[in-house]
């Protein structure tokens, strides 16, 4: 029997050009992705975190397209949502 040890959160990057990952599990207590990258904790299911630093005014990219612009400087692993993207 094989036991899986979950050390990080399950996520989805829809396109190689994306600078955000979408979290698709509910382990909001974990503070890293399943590939080891440190992220903010308490980010809810379905929300996005940045996978690299994003400067003010830089595009937020998901589906390989620009879905918005950073209104604040965003650190790698930070929650990306209405408070820093529009």
Partner 1 sequence: MYMSITVSSTDLFDFANSLEWRGYCRSDGRVGIRNHRIVLSTVALTDRLAAAIAATDKDSLCIAGAFSRGLQKSDEAMVERFIRSVLTHPNVGAALVLTHDRASAERLAREIDAAIPIEYLAFMQCAGRAQAVAEGGEKLQMLASQQNKLEQRRTKVGQSAIALALECGGSDVSSSICSNPVIGDICDLTISAGGLAVVSETAEFIGAETIFEDRCPDAATRRAVLDFIGYRARLMEQDNGKDYRGTNPTQENIDGGLTTLIEKSMGAVSKTGTTDFVSALEFGIPPCAPGLHFMDTPFFSPVSLTGMMMAGCNLGLFAMGVFNPSGNPLCPIIKICGNPQTLRCWRDDIDVELDGYFTGEIDRGGAQRAVLTRMNAVFNGAETASEKVGEGQFMLPRLKDAL
Site for partner 1 in 12-41 (CB under 8 A): 12-14, 22, 24-26
In angstroms, what is the minimal distance from the CB of 22 to partner 1? 6
Phi, psi (deg, nearest 5) at residue 12: -135, 125
> Per CB under 8 A, does 56 bind partner 1?
no
DSSP H/E element including 21: strand 20-23
Torsion angle defined by CA atoms of residues 15, 31, 40 and 51, in that order, rounded to the nearest 10 degrees: -20
Q: Which is nearer to partner 1, 12 or 38 (CB)?
A: 12
Q: How far is the CB of 8 from partner 1 (least distance, A)?
A: 12
């Amino acid at each position: 029997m094989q036991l899986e040890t979950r050390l990080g959160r399950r996520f989805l990057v829809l396109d190689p050009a994306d600078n955000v990952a979408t979290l698709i599990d509910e382990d909001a207590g974990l503070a890293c992705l399943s590939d080891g990258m440190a992220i903010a904790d308490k980010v809810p299911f379905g929300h996005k975190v940045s996978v690299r630093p994003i400067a003010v005014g830089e595009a937020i990219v998901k589906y390989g397209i620009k879905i918005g612009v950073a209104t604040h400087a965003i650190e790698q692993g930070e929650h990306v949502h209405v408070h820093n993207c529009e």
